[in-house]
């Protein structure tokens, strides 16, 4: 299906630790900003898709999360669809909203992603994150992830079971070790991802962490799970991001000056396959390129799901930005930093902007829309007219449980 949805307005909160701010207040701030951005009112919305993954365990709010959040700012009556797809909740909400506009069901739709992960009891947060995997297979999965760990990493082998970190980092550490063995990727290249994103994040007033780091600092930081140090792992966070989507007809009525068109938005789930076979990320990217009649060489700016440093390097390869095994070289060459041929994660990415799970996918769209409209100040990717967002969620087998790739065009 060739998308016809237009991004009319975007807004988001600063990502960070908002212990005293609830889901309703975070969501309200993002929605208000998005509506103001496009000059529409709450009464103009015809439907809303709300991404959230963890509220049930973190805040106790189950079932009607979107309705509760939107009611607090006077939005009701319209269909509100709650979307939970792990870390891909926000991008799934966005993709579904785009589809409903494209099919002609609605002219004005809201896509909202909102999450609170900080909690006085950290064990509750890590337990919620563990729900992004098959909990009946959790122990066997952890054993598989650490089967190749070196003796020096023995202290961390109990991983997510000790409730001191997200079990997702055990998965990414295993992926990193395999990539290093097969392709020669180095810890310095992993650290280089974190350094690059720290530079970008330092220029983003909405990023959770804004200090610039060096390779030496990244490598000297506490080890989370070999070879990943703390700055190579995305932090938890609280925050919200919102996008108002309109039909082409509505865009003409509004007289939008800098319309950003959704050229493609493709969603797939992970499945069981052999290592090295076609995966969901590559499949989504190839279908998105075909749908948009574009390719990797047309891209001007990209946001990828860097839940860990290795995830960004592998995303380069899955998206066709380089050949398999060549992701680390892009870091060495400076290709993906601001000023490079193709800036990636100009927002600071999940590593520095933060990762409020349900909000992440929508926040990527906010960043890329502002990039295409030339609104990003010191972190502006010069001349970008085509942007790509890559957002995955959860883990099944060897890959993400949900994956979404979206292409935006100015």
Q: Which two three-digit tokens encode residue 290?
A: 């075909």
Contacts within 8 Å (CB) and 24+ apart, 184-187 = 184/325, 184/328, 185/310, 185/313, 185/325, 185/327, 185/328, 186/328, 187/219, 187/227
Half-sphere exposure of 123 (CA within 13 A, CB side): 3
| Cβ(213)–Cβ(231) below 8 Å | yes
Q: How many residues does the chain have?
A: 410
Q: Is 98 labeled as catalytic in the residue annotation?
A: no
Q: Could you read off the pLDDT of 377-399 as tens digits, one per residue?
A: 999 999 999 999 999 999 998 88
Q: Kindly tell me the sign of the dihedral angle through the C-alpha atoms of 232, 234, 236, 240.
A: positive
Q: Could you read off the pLDDT of 102-119 as tens digits, one per residue?
A: 999 999 999 999 999 999
Count of CB atoms situated within 10 Å of the CB of 324: 14
CA distance 361 to 89: 7
Q: What percent of the chain has pLDDT over 90?
A: 85
Q: How confident is the model at residue 161 (pLDDT cuts 50, 70, 90)?
A: very low
| Cβ(197)–Cβ(332) below 8 Å | no
Supply the pLDDT for residue 151. Answer: 62
Q: Could you read off the pLDDT of 279-296 as tens digits, one per residue?
A: 899 999 999 999 999 999
How does strand 399-409 pair with strand 386-396?
antiparallel
Supply the pLDDT for residue 153. Answer: 55
Half-sphere exposure of 338 (CA within 13 A, CB side): 23
Mean pLDDT across the stretch 191-215?
Answer: 98
CA distance 82 to 52: 7
Supply the pLDDT for residue 169. Answer: 93
Supply the pLDDT for residue 154. Answer: 39
| DSSP structure class, residue 13 | P
Radius of gyration of the chain (CA): 20
How does strand 6-12 pair with strand 239-246?
antiparallel
End-to-end CA distance of the chain: 19
Mean pLDDT across the stretch 337-362?
Answer: 98
Coil, strand or helix at 121: coil
Catalytic residue among 38, 87, 284, 322: 87
Q: Is 233 labeled as catalytic in the residue annotation?
A: no
Lowest mean pLDDT among 132-146, 234-248, 341-355: 132-146
* Sequence spans of domains, the chain: 6-119+236-409
CA distance 149 to 174: 8
Cβ within 8 Å of residue 138, ≥6 positions away: 130, 160, 161, 167
Supply the pLDDT for residue 155. Answer: 46
Catalytic residue among 146, 268, 305, 355: 355
Flag whether pLDDT at 159 surpasses 60.
no
Q: Could you read off the pLDDT of 26-71 as tens digits, one per residue?
A: 999 999 999 999 999 999 999 999 999 999 999 999 999 999 999 9
Q: Just give the CATH number of 6-119+236-409.
A: 3.40.47.10
| DSSP structure class, residue 300 | S
Cβ within 8 Å of residue 85, ≥6 positions away: 51, 53, 91, 92, 393, 394, 401, 402
Element (DSSP H or E) covering residue 168: helix 167-183
| DSSP structure class, residue 340 | S
Coil, strand or helix at 108: strand
CA distance 23 to 141: 32
Q: Kindly tell me the sign of the dihedral angle through the C-alpha atoms of 334, 339, 341, 345.
A: positive
**Alpha carbon of residue 19 to chain centroid:** 22
Q: What is the mean pLDDT of the chain?
A: 94
Flag whether pLDDT at 333 surpasses 90.
yes
Q: What percent of the chain has pLDDT over 70?
A: 97
3-class SS letters over 344-396: ECCCCHHHHHCCCHHHHHHHHHHHHHHHHCCCCHHHCCCCCCEEEEEEEEEEE
CA distance 153 to 283: 34
Supply the pLDDT for residue 152. Answer: 58
| Cβ(104)–Cβ(74) below 8 Å | no
More confident residue, 380 or 4: 380
| Cβ(273)–Cβ(396) below 8 Å | no
CA distance 336 to 343: 4
């Amino acid at each position: 299906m060739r998308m016809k949805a237009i991004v009319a307005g975007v807004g988001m909160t600063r990502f960070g630790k908002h212990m005293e701010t609830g889901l309703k207040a975070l969501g309200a701030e993002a929605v208000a900003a998005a509506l103001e951005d496009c000059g529409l009112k709450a009464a103009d919305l015809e439907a809303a898709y709300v991404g959230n993954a963890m509220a049930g365990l973190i805040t106790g709010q189950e079932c009607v999360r979107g309705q509760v959040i939107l009611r607090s700012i006077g939005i009701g009556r319209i269909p509100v669809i709650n979307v939970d797809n792990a870390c891909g909740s926000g991008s799934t909400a966005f993709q579904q909203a785009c589809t409903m506009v494209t099919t002609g069901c609605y002219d004005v739709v809201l896509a909202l992603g909102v999450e609170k992960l900080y909690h006085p009891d950290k064990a509750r947060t890590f337990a919620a994150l563990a729900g992004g995997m098959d909990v009946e297979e959790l122990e066997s999965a952890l054993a598989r992830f650490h089967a190749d760990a070196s003796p020096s990493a023995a202290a961390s082998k109990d991983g997510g079971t000790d409730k001191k970190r997200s079990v997702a980092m055990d998965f990414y550490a295993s992926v990193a070790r395999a990539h290093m063995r097969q392709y020669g990727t180095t810890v310095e290249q992993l650290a280089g991802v974190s350094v690059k994103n720290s530079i970008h994040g330092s220029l983003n007033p909405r990023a959770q962490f804004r200090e610039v780091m060096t390779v030496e600092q990244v490598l000297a930081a506490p080890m989370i799970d070999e070879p990943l140090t703390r700055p190579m792992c995305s932090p938890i966070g609280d925050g919200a991001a919102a996008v108002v989507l309109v039909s082409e007809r509505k865009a003409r009525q509004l007289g939008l000056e800098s319309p950003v068109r959704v050229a493609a938005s493709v969603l797939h789930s992970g499945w069981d396959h052999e290592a090295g076979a076609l995966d969901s990320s590559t499949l989504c990217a190839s279908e998105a390129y075909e749908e948009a009649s574009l390719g990797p060489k047309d891209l001007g700016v990209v946001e990828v799901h860097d839940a860990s440093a290795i995830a960004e390097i592998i995303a380069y390869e899955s998206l066709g930005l380089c050949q398999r095994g060549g992701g680390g070289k892009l870091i060495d060459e400076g290709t993906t930093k601001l000023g490079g041929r193709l800036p990636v994660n100009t927002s600071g990415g999940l590593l520095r902007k933060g990762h409020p799970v349900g909000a992440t996918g929508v926040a990527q769209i906010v960043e890329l829309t502002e990039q295409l409209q030339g609104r990003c100040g010191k972190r502006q990717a010069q001349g970008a007219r085509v942007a790509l967002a890559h957002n995955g969620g959860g883990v099944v087998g060897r890959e993400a449980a949900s994956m979404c790739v979206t292409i935006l065009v100015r």
